């Protein structure tokens, strides 16, 4: 069954408990809202330690330069 929430008159939405627990979301956590067509993708902003090693093996050369910009 899908979890449903209602937008309040103050434009607030309470995330259903089942969703919070499944995603391990905590109070005070920051989220980003990404528009997708007629909807919005809601994702937690990652902590710095979660990003460690994300670019492992990336080449520091051969990427596009900025000469094509004004």
Domain span at 41: 1-47
Dist CA 61 CA 59 (whole Å): 5
Q: Work out how many domains the chain is built from and give that number.
A: 1
**12 pLDDT band (50/70/90 cuts)?**
very high
**1 pLDDT band (50/70/90 cuts)?**
low
Q: ∠53-44-12 over CA atoms, to 5°?
A: 170
Query: What's the token pair of residue 66?
Result: 């900025």
How confident is the model at residue 23, as a pLDDT? 93
| Cβ contacts of 23 within 8 Å, gap of 6 or more | 44
pTM over the 0.75 mark: no
Q: What is the pLDDT of residues 30-44, one digit of tens each?
A: 999 999 999 999 999
Strand 39-44 vs strand 31-36: parallel, antiparallel, or unpaired? antiparallel
Question: Does residue 66 form part of some domain?
Answer: no
Question: Does residue 15 form part of some domain?
Answer: yes
What CATH number corresponds to the domain at position 8?
Answer: 2.10.260.10
């Amino acid at each position: 069954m899908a979890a449903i929430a209602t937008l309040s008159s103050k434009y607030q939405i309470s995330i259903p408990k089942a969703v919070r627990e499944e995603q391990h979301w905590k109070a005070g956590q920051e989220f980003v809202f990404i528009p997708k067509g007629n909807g919005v993708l809601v994702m937690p902003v990652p902590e710095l330690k979660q990003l460690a090693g994300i670019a492992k093996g990336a080449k520091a050369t051969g990427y596009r330069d900025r000469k094509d910009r004004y």
